[in-house]
Structure 1
Amino acid sequence: MAMNEFEPAIEDFCEHLRLVRGRSEATVRGYRSDLVGMAEDLGGFGDFNLTQLRAWLGRAAVAGKSRSTLARRTASVKAFSTWAAKNSLIDADVAARLVSPGVHRELPKVLGTEQAGDLVGNADSHSESEFLRDSAILELLYATGMRVSELCGLDIADVDLHRQLVKVLGKGDKERMIPFGDAAGDAVEKWLGVRDGMAVVATAMFVGARGRRIDPRQVRRIVERAAVVSGVGPLSPHSLRHTAATHLLDGGADLREVQELLGHSSLQTTQIYTHVSSQRLLEAFKRAHPRA
């Protein structure tokens, strides 16, 4: 079958992503999934050409795959093609001219300041210890705008309560320091007061019900339950990241400062929050100005 020829190349490419490019395991899994699907559809490197790749994507479109899925598959194949050409597995970067379908980017859901305050103060937990943990998680996510994966990877030593700084290991194993305020600091300190009674892992800042390092699914459930209790509607942890960034810009923070805090490699990624702030300003104008 097709994977007999493609399989070792795909695995070598995934190792390149992991070890050379510093991509996360989740990203590597995504690339592998897309490329395995491509390999099952094509007959081998003899069919790895622009015409066949366009036909493969066309069949996916006919099958009803979303534009975002098609764009992701295109990006995966283009990256694989470039790597394969550099490693002499193919004569030329045949996917270089493959055009990715445009993806409509919706503006992220952003909470108002009062809504955010209600959310972080309404952890829906099963015990007092879990309430203190969940409150610290909610406060820290909103205060710093860090990714869920970054929060789950925190060790106790990464949080400096005295200087109110947290050291985060982001994408590509890049470290950055993020400040946080009194509310998050107080919540973390209260959690640390009971943490040892729940933990079986010595280093992890946040632990789950079994005492081991908390995982992203648990954090999502914590955010979702708090959103229901506080009445803000369906909400993901990433919306707290969007909210933190938008509130920073609303408060006068510089775009490049927000880029650094969020750990974005490109300023273009951060610029979506300027659109969010502009939209919020327009809505406020329409509500408040007599000539609106």
Structure 2
Amino acid sequence: MPAGEDQAERFLAMLAAERGAAANTLMAYRRDLEAARAVLGDIATANTDALETLGSAWSDLAASSLARRCSALRQFYGFLVDEGVRADDPSGALPRPRTRRPLPRLLSHAEVERFLEQADEEAVSERPDAVRLLALLELLYGSGLRATELVSLPLAAVPRDAPFLHVTGKGGQQRMVPVSGRASAVLSRWLAVRKGGSRFLFPSSGASGHLTRVRLFQLLRALAGRAGLDPLRVSPHVLRHAFATHLLEGGADLRVLQMLLGHADIATTQIYTHVDSARLVELVNARHPLGGVRGTINRES
């Protein structure tokens, strides 16, 4: 194995052991390092002149993709310096694209209701696949789980005596997620028709695995089409975003959302605060001590 590849493997092993990086995260870092190796050759010994060529080599990338690759390389070279492999850090020569993190797509209350109604209508038959889909949808929108968290839920995560799920999120961080009475009822229906023999709540057709994220994505888009919604606007993450946004609109505290979503940094949670400006103006006018004293804020200001 070339020296650069060996250092990359050590870097990835560090991410897994010390930072608890998930498998999907490690795969993304590996792809980014391999993309750099395709241009630079031995990335472990690349100098600043070599790194300056990446801007033109990756000129066709979206700003967000370029930023992600450069972030992976900065962390890689920082690791090499910390380990004493390099005395210098050449990452200052990496391109620095200006990116603005886009807000995820959002479904309205009415669209989510239609989505749930369609799944509910299909589950009346008590067919296992239909009841499973309804349970998946209720947990995505009702508890705000990530797709990976949802499909990999062990059967033991569903307690018998409390309305909570025990979820293992990014980096192995565990949290308690409340389950609504509605979702709990659907889970009971699913457990009644679910085949035994698997330790996962949503087993795959195989002997020991669980439903995949790709299959979950496919099931949701197919359901969206049957519900009269644009399938391209629907994904597990869109439903997670709808969960957070609709809770915030209902008055939930941002710190509570941070806990429910499993975010280590509240700055990440703020991405989900897609509340229209009119509601913010109404909130200030209604709740601020001076809101009714000297007039209200102009909505068009």
TM-score range, shorter chain: 0.7 to 0.9
- Report what 1:220 is aligned to: 217
- Report what 1:238 is aligned to: 237
- Report what 2:64 is aligned to: 68
Q: CA deviation at 1:136?
A: 0.3
- Report what 1:166 is aligned to: 165
Query: TM-score under structure 2 normalisation?
Result: 0.85
CA–CA distance in 2 between the matches of 1:45 and 1:278? 45
- Report what 1:185 is aligned to: 184
CA–CA distance in 1 between the matches of 2:134 and 2:169? 23
Q: CA deviation at 1:47?
A: 5.1
CA–CA distance in 1 between the matches of 2:264 and 2:95? 23
Q: CA deviation at 1:253?
A: 0.5
- 2:275 counterpart letter in structure 1: S
- Report what 1:53 is aligned to: 51
Which consecutive residues of structure 2, in runs of 5 or more, have no partner in the other structure?
283-298
Conservation of the 8 A alpha-carbon contact between 1:81 and 1:94: yes
- Among 85, 103, 119, which residue is 1:89 paired with? 85
CA–CA distance in 2 between the matches of 1:96 and 1:168? 39
Do the aligned partners of residues 163 and 114 (structure 1) sit closer, same or farther apart at CA in structure 2, a change above 3 Å counting? farther
Conservation of the 8 A alpha-carbon contact between 1:166 and 1:177: yes
Tell me, what secondary structure is at the counterpart of 1:146? coil
Q: Which runs of 4+ in 1 moved over 6 A?
A: 124-127
- Report what 1:287 is aligned to: none
Query: Does 1:79 pair with 2:75?
Result: yes
CA root-mean-square deviation: 2.5
Q: CA deviation at 1:97?
A: 6.0
Do the aligned partners of residues 269 and 237 (structure 1) sit closer, same or farther apart at CA in structure 2, a change above 3 Å counting? same
Q: CA deviation at 1:99?
A: 5.0
CA–CA distance in 1 between the matches of 2:267 and 2:93? 23
CA–CA distance in 2 between the matches of 1:84 and 1:246? 41
Conservation of the 8 A alpha-carbon contact between 1:5 and 1:45: no
CA–CA distance in 2 between the matches of 1:166 and 1:241? 16
Conservation of the 8 A alpha-carbon contact between 1:168 and 1:177: yes
CA–CA distance in 2 between the matches of 1:170 and 1:43? 35
- 1:24 counterpart letter in structure 2: A
Do the aligned partners of residues 280 and 143 (structure 1) sit closer, same or farther apart at CA in structure 2, a change above 3 Å counting? farther
- Report what 1:37 is aligned to: 35
CA–CA distance in 2 between the matches of 1:25 and 1:95? 25
Q: Mean alpha-carbon deviation: is it higher for 230-239 or for 241-250?
A: 230-239
Q: Percent identity?
A: 32
